[in-house]
Amino acid sequence: MRIPANEVIDGEIYTFVNLLGKGAFGTVYKCKNSKGQFVAIKRIMNDTAALEAKIMRQLNRPEFEQYFVQCHKIFQSVDGAICIVMEYCSGGSLEAFVKRVGKIDRNSASTFLAQLVKGVQKLHTIGLMHRDLKPANILIGRVGVQIRLKIADFGISKDIPDCSTFLTQCGTPCYMAPEVVEGQRYDKSADVFSLGAIICGYPEYIDRPKGHSHSSISGRMMCKRKEERLKLDEIEIQNKNQFFLLKTRNCTICGRILSK
């Protein structure tokens, strides 16, 4: 699959720059538009294309700009692929960032985690479940001058009507909730587990993450029993320093995320 260089697509000229990544559901390219601005173009050739395009349109609103990668336009290429033109996040993925810099300092970690929790809260509020939250699907972009973590890759996301549960096994194994791995019914709390795995840096599920008590945010998120798992609406974010607090009592976050 390729992005044609210097071809007019839907009234815009896109010039291929380089390949950004290739996954099971699509290939992403860095391109330059006719205004000289960098964009990312994701080409999808399978059945997930229509769903992802629909979700990207749904999230393409000013109030969601700081939480989710924004879509500029969607078109179909001559070979039938669905192409989603998105904002280009120059900071790359959270996965690549952590591999590059190593441990993240506490203040930065707190800010990042506050952004992620708010993003997942927004997603669930509008009735969507991501189902594949992991560092590779979180991109580092900007809103104005502020660095923002933006959730991306909605290829296996799902509408979640109230009280819905699912059986489809999907996601990335080391960030999947136990009930998903075991083929049991699951709900949006599976996203909370994945978020906890990202936060504490332990890509595995255990009853009590090593070194973290159940009174910590990460420990509560990663409870093996989904009934005991933290609900995102239990979390408040202190404006002064972005630390997490439970509405019921003070609660710590783990001191590191995804450290080498």
| Rounded alpha-carbon distances, angstroms, from residue 197 to 208, 251, 256 | 12, 17, 11
| 42 labelled ligand-binding | yes
Q: Is 208 helix (H, G, I), strand (E, B) or coil?
A: coil
- What's the token pair of residue 214? 């159940």
153 among known catalytic residues: no
**Contact (Cβ atoms closer than 8 angstroms) between residue 145 and residue 61:** no
Q: Kindly give the interhelix angle for 106-125 and 189-200, rounded to the nearest 10 degrees.
A: 170
Answer yes or no: are the C-beta atoms of 218 and 194 closer than 8 Å.
no
Nearest by Cα to 237 from 122, 94, 113, 104: 113
Q: Among the options 132, 159, 187, 207, which is catalytic? A: 132
Closest-CA residue to 123 (of 64, 76, 169)? 64
User: What backbone phi and psi angles, to 5 degrees, belong to 147?
Assistant: -75, 135
DSSP code at position 79: T
Q: Which residues are catalytic, by number? A: 132
**Residues at the annotated binding site?**
42
Q: Which residues are annotated binding-site positions for ATP?
A: 42
